[in-house]
Every structure is written in C-alpha cells, then in structure tokens.
Amino acid sequence: MERHHIYSALVLRVRPSGESNRDAWFLTQEEGILKATVFGGPKSKFRALVSPFHQGRLWVYHNPVRDSRKLTDFDVQSWRLGIRENYQRTMTAGAILEVILASQGSGGNWPSAWGMANSTLDALDLAEEGACLRIFVHFLWSWALLLGIRPSLNRCASCTCEAPQDGLLLWNTYEGAVYCPSCAGVQEDPGALPPGAWVVLGLEVRRWLGAVENQAPAAAARYTLDARSLGQAKALVTSIMAGALGKRLPGWDRV
C-alpha cells in the first residue's frame, strides 16, 4: 500500500499540537481538506514554510493503521507576501480561509475550489485596500455557486414576477429568498423594514454581481461599487453563506 502522497496544497490554518508540534490544515487540489501533523520545534524549517496563504507542493506520510498524516516536506511555490504587508488584505484573506474550512473545502469539486481559492488570494496579494471587500464579496458569491446555493436575483420567490429592470428587490435573511417590494409589503420606504430580516438589493448591486460573477477575482478589484451598494452586497452574500454554514463566522466583521 502506498503511504507517501504528494499534493498541490494551500495552507489554511496552523495550530500548536502538544509541546513542540503543530497541526496544519490544507486545501488540496486532489482530495480537498487535509490535516497533517508538522513535527519539529521552533528551529524547524517548517515554521516559516507552513503558514497560512502559502501554496506549494506538499509531501505527506499516511499511517493507514492510525489514519494519521505527517507532513514530510513542503515546497512553497507562492508566498503571497503582499497579503501580510497590509492589515486589510490579511483580514480579508483570513476570512476567506475561514469560509473554505467551515464549508469543508466546498464539499466535492476540488479543482474548482482550488482554482477559486488561489486566484482570489492572488488578487488580494496585489489589491488596493478599497478593493479588498469587493474581492471578498466576489469570493462568497462564487463559492455560493460552487456549493449550489447561489440564488437567482431575477425573480420574486412569491409571485414569480420578473424583477423590474430598474427596480429593487429584497432578500429575506430568515427564509433565504428574494422578494419584490410588493410581496415584501414595502410600499414607499424600504428603510422602514425591520433591520436584520431584510437586505435591500438595489439595481447597482444586481448589476455589479451580474458583471463580475463569471469573471476572475481581479475583475472585482477593477469594477468599483458605491459604499451603500457594497454594504448591501456584503449583507447578501454573508447571509447566504451563514444559511449554508448555520452560523456567521467572526472574520466577516473584520473585512
């Protein structure tokens, strides 16, 4: 039985394990999420190599009897030093890794998950501070498609009327569904809706998501969006993801 395996891997999380070892979680292109023990004290070369956001070739020894995995080597191919140079990039990238871990690496389509995760981190590595939140929204919107939970923003869930091209829609955070203003019971002022239950989706949000959804993450850095619409977009995508995960993740508030 073959016990040594080689993966293309992205480091998601590292935690101390015992006195001098560490546990590391990876997203791999071949098998999704994988956990391996990194042996060695403070002087181990793996201290610097095995660190979140790093991507490279991973060598793992698998003990089939104990079903435990041990890292035997890691050759970093992408360090993404730009992410650590900037607080906003670091917080945003950290929040993205949280989502990948909490959703078990998307649960099945590893090559797509792998491509999406790495292209998003590459875009963040070079991003202006102001673009970080747009890249985050793009990632959650793309990840929602991968998980099969991305809603259509074209139709009301109740009357199934097509959304007016110039009109707003409303996302119900409890039901995870989109409504037209009439079915949501809004006549004039959407600001009067109970906060927390509804997310107002103006035309700008729907246009922006439509423009970037089939493009690489770098497009989200290029296409700007006004602050109010960006707030609506973040509220929508985090609500969708919270519905899938059963909770909101703490890192989302730091993006």
Q: How many CB atoms lie within 10 A of CB 247?
A: 10
Smallest gap, in angstroms, from Cβ of residue 157 to Zn ion? Answer: 8
Cα separations in angstroms, 188 against 10, 172, 191: 49, 18, 9
Chain centroid offset of residue 36 CA: 22
Q: Does 158 bind Zn ion (CB under 5 A)?
A: yes
Identify whether the C-beta of residue 13 lies closer than 8 Å to the C-beta of residue 30: no
Q: Does 175 bind Zn ion (CB under 5 A)?
A: no
Residue type, 30: E
Q: Which helix (H) or strand (E) holds 26?
A: strand 21-28
Q: Does 78 bind Zn ion (CB under 5 A)?
A: no
Q: What are 74's strand-pairing partners?
A: 58
Q: Which is nearer to Zn ion, 14 or 170 (by Cβ)?
A: 170
Q: Does 157 bind Zn ion (CB under 5 A)?
A: no
Q: Does 159 bind Zn ion (CB under 5 A)?
A: yes
Q: Which is nearer to Zn ion, 50 or 163 (by Cβ)?
A: 163
Interface segment toward Zn ion; rule CB under 5 A; list 121-129, 156-164, 165-173, 204-212: 156-164
Binds Zn ion (CB under 5 A): choice among 14, 93, 135, 156: 156
- Tell me the C-alpha distance between 107 and 152, whole Å: 22
Interface segment toward Zn ion; rule CB under 5 A; list 43-51, 178-186, 207-215, 243-251: 178-186
Binds Zn ion (CB under 5 A): choice among 180, 235, 237, 241: 180
Q: Comparing C-alpha atoms, which of 128, 35, 207, 104 is closest to residue 117?
A: 104
User: Total residues at the site for Zn ion (CB under 5 A)?
Assistant: 5
Residues interacting with Zn ion, by CB under 5 A? 156, 158-159, 180, 183
